[in-house]
Amino acid sequence: MFSQAMYELGTKKSTIRTIFEYGRKRAAVVGEDNIYDYSLGNPNVPAPTYIKQAIFDILNEEDPCAVHGYTIAPGLTVVREKLAKSVNRRFATKFSAKNFFITGGAAGAITITFKALSEPGDEFVTFAPFFPEYKCFVESTGAKLVVVPAQPSDFQINFAEFEKRISKKTKAIIVNSPNNPSGVIYSEDTIKTLAKILEKKEKEYGHPIFLISDEPYREIAYDGIEVPYLTHYYADTIICYSYSKSFSLPGERIGYILIPDETASSEQIYGAVAGAARVLTHVNAPSLFQRVIARCCDMPSDISTYQKNGTLLYNGLVEAGFKCIKPQGAFYLFPESLEPDDYAFCKKAQEFDLLLVPGTDFGCPGHFRASYCIKTSIIEKSLPVFKKLAESYGIKKGS
């Protein structure tokens, strides 16, 4: 009578969603300020004022028929020219409008890319910890997601495990740096080693292996850490970008796919992207916000709140006795759970009204994710509670 597979995808709640919904109910009982909800990655910094100004200017200056009208499927050429110029200026690249396909955020960008590339029997490889929707998006194209176990010492890539999992069936590698959930940025060394392996394997297998860079958190990098621009390191790179986090516009669904000329069969892949977009009901990325990003793409992101929150939470957790990598980017921490069973640990934390997401959901047991894109005052208030939680595991301050 209907598709059972779709029903299951639509009704089986993710752990994150379940925890979040529990939080909403609990907040109604104990009060909004007494629940420490670290579950969701929803930016809590408002869109910069230049976004509002850009919308006002567009509506006042431009032809309304055009502003809200259909655009060609890849997005307005003038917008893509602006994006190309901006990327070229920042990263010393040589892209032009024809390399860009504007999409509905990064979810749109990566899924369209997966579908454009995917052939029967294909495998896509990613590295734990990883964004759990990859599995759903890759499998919906008929391909298989292969997960390389994490390297918890620094959450860079575990290359020994990677080499065991790459094969003739590998169509593409998916990387996400700054990373959700680890908050780590892949170093230039990591990227160079990855590129070297991929080049070797391309030769060995006689076909390209694409490197898909899912980078919604590119602009959220702390302390001047550089996020390597992957097209400089590996030819067969495809970039999937989003303005959801950098401009705090996650609800507006705007991002892009960037296919460099250097990428194998780049023109054909661009064509396949257009076809995948068509069956994925893309039509065009929202037309007003195409114009907004054209006007704002050179403006800086405001990451000060996230940096402040990240430092505050990290120091508090370490002080309480947690083991955790210092935040480098994005707005997540991924500490070790205080017992090996991260589900049991998060259940325990819930008794303290600390809402944390088990690392198992990101392919990395024994850890938990804390999204610190929340009010700073809530983080401050939660730190003694984390301490109490640690104490309940017998960990004493300074011990």
Return the residue of 80, 201, 218, 253 that touches its own copies, per CB under 8 A: 253
Residue closer to its own copies, measured from CB, 288 or 325:
288
Is residue 251 a contact point for its own copies (CB under 8 A)? yes
Return the residue of 27, 274, 325, 383 that touches its own copies, per CB under 8 A: 274
Half-sphere exposure of 315 (CA within 13 A, CB side): 8
Q: Which stretch, 159-167, 274-282, 309-317, 320-328, contacts its own copies (CB under 8 A)?
A: 274-282
Residue 354's DSSP bridge partners are 36
- Rounded CA-CA distance 240/238 in Å is 7
CB distance 194 to 161 below 8 Å: no
Contacts (CB under 8 A) with its own copies, residues 112-141: 112, 115-119, 136-137, 140
Contacts (CB under 8 A) with its own copies, residues 22-81: 42-47, 51-52, 55-56, 59, 63-65, 67-71
Residue 100's DSSP bridge partners are 258
Residue closer to its own copies, measured from CB, 206 or 394:
206
Q: Which stretch, 30-38, 89-97, 155-163, 261-269, contacts its own copies (CB under 8 A)?
A: 261-269
**Sequence-distant contacts of 342-346: CB under 8 A, at least 24 apart:** 342/366, 342/367, 342/368, 346/19
Contacts (CB under 8 A) with its own copies, residues 289-308: 289-290
Minimal distance, residue 290 CB to its own copies, in Å: 8
Contacts (CB under 8 A) with its own copies, residues 152-211: 207-208
DSSP 367: B
Return the residue of 16, 277, 320, 379 that touches its own copies, per CB under 8 A: 277
The two beta strands, 354-355 and 36-37, are parallel
Return the residue of 37, 82, 105, 256 that touches its own copies, per CB under 8 A: 105
Return the residue of 216, 286, 316, 363 that touches its own copies, per CB under 8 A: 286
The two beta strands, 210-215 and 170-175, are parallel
The sheet carrying 100-103 orders its strands as 100-103, 255-258, 237-242, 210-215, 170-175, 123-127, 144-148
Contacts (CB under 8 A) with its own copies, residues 312-351: none
Residue 239's DSSP bridge partners are 213, 258
Give the closest residue to 84 by CA, choosing from 96, 102, 101.
96
